[in-house]
Structure 1
Amino acid sequence: MTKLVLAPLLALAAACSAQTAGPKLTAVEATMVRAVDAEKSASLALLERIVDINSGTMNLPGVVAVKDVISPQLEALGFKVRWNPMEAFDKRAGDLVAEHACPAGAGKCGKRLLLIGHMDTVFEPSSSFQKYTIVPGTNGNVATGPGVNDMKGGLVVMLSALKAMKAAGALDMAEITIVLSGDEEAHGEPTDLSRRDMIEAGKRADVALEFENNSRIGGKDMIRISRRSSLSWRIETTGVSGHSSQIFNDHFGYGAIYELTRILDQFRTQLPEHGLTYNVGMVLGGATATVNPTNTGGSATGKSNVIPPTALASGDIRTLSNDQTERTEARMRVIVRDHLPKTGATITFNEGYPAMAETDAAHALVGQLNEVNAALGLAPQEIMDPMLGGAGDIAFVAPYVPAGLVGTGAMGEGAHAEGETVFLDSIPREAKRMALLMYRLSKT
């Protein structure tokens, strides 16, 4: 009787287990996972090697040295690699462009993939933060160093994923273009030249993956599908100078500093809307006001009893979409030209990073990524609020590429600050995610 009762129950349990079991890895995917694990020690050694090369944006030889480490690794994977220097026109290092053609012909290997990254960091040779080290007390799982997270860790994730695809034979039938800029942290201008390689590649791509640092919030791995813009502005105001006892009268008016104050306060009260931030980073004014050549400071002179004839302010704007950028700039211009008596003002906007808005195709791509996570036994990744992130290169190709993911690289903390860290266990995990995702995209 016991056997008769247990048999149906065991069969039912087996059936339920089969129905609830997650998706399985294919043989090719399992090979890629094993290849990433086998490559882990070499990946970490590569990370240390490139972190110890100072590649601050303005250290052009350092950026080139990082390129010289990465180029042969891509060539060994079958990529055709070229270096496009930019120093002649924008005093920046240049772009590393690598192309892996589809052997069946362009567009015949599933989705055409564009991988985006950068080789520079914010840490110039003058920084005291120069070397890769393991953080004590972390059981060897956390490393620190300049750009270790943003984004040399991402470069290692990208290479590890591609090597895993190669080991499994999955790279052979993939069409992939890689563009690694040498000046993401301070791009050259004009951007139609400094980002020409990336934009041209974007026009030929179906999906873009940006290997910038990833994030974990509340214990959950995140992914981004949008980026806010980042551009700078500068206001210069003028006034009639004279004895302070005569300020506000019909001849002398209000002076340059009151005009600048009016503008900034109206920005504060009239511009706010969802997704928009606008910072005032520097203000100078008086009898004279001069900004230094790097736009990072300046000097002013004046006296309390002299009406100031000159003032200036600079800051930035960050938006969720390019439409929001255009709307905000137009409103700022209207505010600026409504002068106080006997004053003048102008505003200029400098080139920056455009916005990358969310798309339905990007949401669908996150769905495919989470199918990969399920196959790997990982929790789904959630879409991160773009207000928590900054600008980046992928926004330059967003108008041309239907879908893109931001933050497919390593995880860590403190990017752009001395003491920046990377979680070393995130590198193989992200490499597995990206290897499987790129493989699946190359089949559809």
Structure 2
Amino acid sequence: MTLLTPAELRILDHAAAAPMLAQVQDWAAVNSGSRNLDGLARMAAMLAADFARLPGTVRLVEPTPVENVAPDGRVETIPHGRHLHVAVRADAPIRLLLTGHMDTVFPVDHAFQQQRWLEPGILNGPGVADMKGGIAVMLAALMAIETSDAVSRLGYDIVINSDEEVGSPSSAALLREVARGKVAALTYEPALPDGTLAGARAGSGNFSIIVTGRSAHAGRNPDEGRNALLAAADLALRLKAGSGAGFSCNPAKIDGGGPNNVVPDHAVLRVNFRPRTPEDEIAARTLIETMMTAIAHEHDVSLHLHGGFGRPPKPMDGKAERLFGLVRQCGADLGLAIGWRDTGGVCDGNNIAACGVPVVDTMGVRGGSIHSEAEYLLTDSLIERAQLSALTLWRIAQGGFQPGQDMKEGMTA
């Protein structure tokens, strides 16, 4: 265990004094479901005002246009909310990226809108853990760092996007832009209730496959028809059967069909793949192409593929292990046991790691039952995790992390 210095203790005190719980409750009172543009606009305005307390520039970035396949096969552009970008000391010698998301999975008409105390210290509410609690932790840590002399060496960009829960399609380009030149990144997804962090992550690809056949009377001349629904179902089975240890496949939905007496000439298959490695992603792409070709030939239908792998796999490489090592040491010096394990879940950490930037992407609060009406925040983790982030940021500013060297070689007391 390393003895905390007076400078570190001062930063920890500042982090602990931040009004995080009040912020979480204010933010969680706003429905900011990924498709609720009005709620996202309110949320973005609140965050812009709160993060304006930091030095630097605050801006709301327009979303990149995103195409979506409608149930009838039409490709349409769907709207997204604006994203918050804060840039502080762009010319500093050490530059970091910190990210979060303002959107939740709960739409404006969802029954889960209110907060309540399950018991002292356990707050139930939409987005309290995923991830409005994490955003409060991020801001508290940064405000604490701004009181120290670390500011002479440390610069950072913050991105809080509005579409993470739907795969970050309209913010992926912004994330790539701000990741450029960064030494490391911290993302504020919630940790597990016991504080365990996510290590390596699988990737994720979402696809819509439009199948076009030929309609006919189901009784008079069915053989003249080409059943698009049947072809889509056959394709779903073949894609599932072709997946294995390297990547999973989840055929999620088929749109299409009509009256019972009509051979359906249209269907859209929705399917998700989770590759573990870049090589698995290539194998999944090959499977899709091979099976689409076979289905087109055997069913005499045409197929169009829409979508892609929006979340690349995130391995635990040497740089990531060194950054995790620093976080773990900071935790140990605070009396926290920090562990991690691999997961099939995905987040913006996948996209950041694909830019060559090491990232710890579960620096947020401890909580659980996310994406459900039972979502909860363990409120004592607000101070705990703000101090963990503040100490990590401080030590990075002191040269405690170099992507190309072991942590102990760069640490200063």
TM > 0.5 fold call: yes
Rounded to whole Å, the distance in 2 between the matches of 1:58 and 1:97 is 20
Please point out which of 14, 25, 31 is paired with 2:10. Answer: 31
Please point out which of 383, 386, 398 is paired with 2:340. Answer: 383
Rounded to whole Å, the distance in 2 between the matches of 1:423 and 1:336 is 47
For the pair 1:361 / 2:309, whether they are aligned, the reply is no
Please point out which of 49, 61, 66 is paired with 1:72. Answer: 49
Contact 2:211/2:231 (8 A) holds in 1? no
Contact 2:232/2:254 (8 A) holds in 1? no
For the pair 1:58 / 2:29, whether they are aligned, the reply is no
Query: Percent identity over the alignment?
Result: 23
Give the match for residue 344 of structure 1: 301
Rounded to whole Å, the distance in 2 between the matches of 1:403 and 1:87 is 25
**How does 1:248-327 map onto structure 2 within 5 Å?**
255-274=227-246, 276-284=247-255, 289=257, 300-303=258-261, 309-327=265-283
Contact 2:200/2:342 (8 A) holds in 1? no
Rounded to whole Å, the distance in 2 between the matches of 1:269 and 1:186 is 26
Find the residue that maps to 1:280 and give its secondary structure: strand
Find the residue that maps to 2:240 and give its secondary structure: helix
Please point out which of 204, 226, 234 is paired with 1:229. Answer: 204
Give the match for residue 150 of structure 1: 130
Give the match for residue 107 of structure 2: 124
Rounded to whole Å, the distance in 2 between the matches of 1:171 and 1:161 is 13
**How does 1:191-270 map onto structure 2 within 5 Å?**
191=170, 194-216=171-193, 219=194, 221-236=196-211, 238=213, 241=216, 255-270=227-242
Rounded to whole Å, the distance in 1 between the matches of 2:41 and 2:218 is 57
Cα distance, 1:372–1:87 mapped onto 2, change above 3 Å: closer
Give the match for residue 329 of structure 2: 371
- Tell me the amino acid that sits aligned with residue 80 of structure 1: T
Alpha-carbon distance, 1:307 to partner: 5.4
Rounded to whole Å, the distance in 1 between the matches of 2:195 and 2:189 is 17
Which shifted more, 174-183 or 230-239? Answer: 230-239
Rounded to whole Å, the distance in 1 between the matches of 2:51 and 2:299 is 63
Cα distance, 1:209–1:377 mapped onto 2, change above 3 Å: same
Give the match for residue 430 of structure 1: 385
Alpha-carbon distance, 1:181 to partner: 0.9
- Tell me the amino acid that sits aligned with residue 259 of structure 2: T
- Tell me the amino acid that sits aligned with residue 107 of structure 2: E
Find the residue that maps to 1:385 and give its secondary structure: strand
Cα distance, 1:311–1:398 mapped onto 2, change above 3 Å: same
Rounded to whole Å, the distance in 1 between the matches of 2:168 and 2:202 is 20
Cα distance, 1:33–1:344 mapped onto 2, change above 3 Å: same
CA deviation map 1:366-390 (0-9, x unaligned): 11111111211111x2222122x2x
For the pair 1:329 / 2:285, whether they are aligned, the reply is yes
Cα distance, 1:230–1:141 mapped onto 2, change above 3 Å: farther
TM-score scaled by structure 2? 0.84
Which shifted more, 50-59 or 66-75? Answer: 66-75
Contact 1:237/1:346 (8 A) holds in 2? yes
Cα distance, 1:402–1:184 mapped onto 2, change above 3 Å: closer
CA deviation map 1:280-316 (0-9, x unaligned): 122355xxx2xxxxxxxxxx2224xx65554442222
Give the match for residue 440 of structure 1: 395
The aligned length equals 386
Cα distance, 1:425–1:256 mapped onto 2, change above 3 Å: same
Rounded to whole Å, the distance in 2 between the matches of 1:307 and 1:269 is 26
Contact 2:352/2:359 (8 A) holds in 1? no
Give the match for residue 412 of structure 1: 367
CA deviation map 1:104-128 (0-9, x unaligned): xx252x3x11001111212222122
Please point out which of 141, 148, 169 is paired with 1:161. Answer: 141
Rounded to whole Å, the distance in 2 between the matches of 1:246 and 1:186 is 43
Find the residue that maps to 1:213 and give its secondary structure: coil
RMSD value over aligned CA atoms? 2.7
Find the residue that maps to 2:60 and give its secondary structure: strand
Give the match for residue 293 of structure 1: none
Please point out which of 403, 406, 416 is paired with 2:358. Answer: 403
Contact 2:16/2:386 (8 A) holds in 1? no
Rounded to whole Å, the distance in 2 between the matches of 1:180 and 1:197 is 10
Find the residue that maps to 1:208 and give its secondary structure: strand
Cα distance, 1:414–1:230 mapped onto 2, change above 3 Å: farther
Rounded to whole Å, the distance in 2 between the matches of 1:203 and 1:87 is 18
Give the match for residue 91 of structure 1: 79
- Tell me the amino acid that sits aligned with residue 262 of structure 1: D
Find the residue that maps to 2:41 and give its secondary structure: helix
Alpha-carbon distance, 1:363 to partner: 0.9
CA deviation map 1:294-346 (0-9, x unaligned): xxxxxx2224xx65554442222222244422321221221121146552241
Runs of 5+ in structure 2 lacking a partner?
67-77, 400-413
Rounded to whole Å, the distance in 2 between the matches of 1:47 and 1:258 is 48
Find the residue that maps to 1:34 and give its secondary structure: helix
Alpha-carbon distance, 1:167 to partner: 3.4
Rounded to whole Å, the distance in 1 between the matches of 2:267 and 2:56 is 53
Alpha-carbon distance, 1:405 to partner: 0.9
Contact 1:114/1:176 (8 A) holds in 2? yes
Rounded to whole Å, the distance in 2 between the matches of 1:272 and 1:235 is 24
Contact 1:149/1:412 (8 A) holds in 2? yes
Give the match for residue 292 of structure 1: none
- Tell me the amino acid that sits aligned with residue 11 of structure 2: M
